[in-house]
Amino acid sequence: MEFPRPVLGLAAFSGTGKTTLLKQLIPLLASRGIQVGVIKHAHHNFDIDKPGKDSYELRKAGARQMLVASGRRWALMTETEGDADPRLDSLIGHLDTEGIDLVLVEGFKHVPFPRIELHRPSLGYSLLFPEDSNIIAVATDEPVETGDLPRLDLNNAAAIAEFILAWLEEQDDNARKL
């Protein structure tokens, strides 16, 4: 699948710390000049707007799209039909990819793109990488066998950020060769 900017996912079972790690990685990458966009898949019905707010009430009144804007930010809520998962490439198409260097994705494990697996053996889940060829590294909080994949310390966000920066550089080098 082709994307306009490098796309890297975090893959893990619920409760492993994907969002916690993202909250640590984003400022580390930003401090190195990397502008990050994030797409997070929600497995349930969600709402970012609050009942009683004008934008919420207008959307609930039947507006198919509701854009709220101020001088500091804007948000577009779009109502969709059915329960089918959104397409990652379509969601990336909604991002202003001219203003970002990297798209970090939480979820969408059924879509082929590179990901770092987060693994905490204490949670009792099996590793994903043996079955998912899109995993490029495993970040774990305990020693585990990762085969030929790099093993990263899940509790060291700075080291994971360095791995991502090196991966980004490799993506850039590959793009220049084309």
CATH code assigned to 48-83:
2.20.25.120
Residue 152 contacts residue 116 (beta carbons within 8 Å): yes
Its pTM stands at: 0.87
Q: Which of 168, 91, 152, 159 is nearest to 116 (CA)?
A: 152
Measured CA to CA in angstroms, residue 14 lies from 64, 70, 78, 108 at distances of 31, 34, 26, 13
- The ranges assigned to domains in the chain are 7-41+85-177, 48-83
Architecture per CATH, 7-41+85-177? 3-Layer(aba) Sandwich (3.40)
User: In CATH terms, are 7-41+85-177 and 48-83 the same topology?
Assistant: no
Distance CA 68, CA 64 (A): 13
Torsion over CA of 96, 102, 104 and 110, rounded to 10 degrees? 90
What tens-digit pLDDT sequence spans the chain (178 residues)? 567 789 999 999 989 999 999 999 999 999 999 999 999 887 666 667 778 888 888 888 888 888 888 899 888 888 887 777 888 888 888 888 888 999 999 988 888 999 999 999 999 999 999 999 999 999 999 999 999 999 999 999 999 999 999 999 998 877 666 6
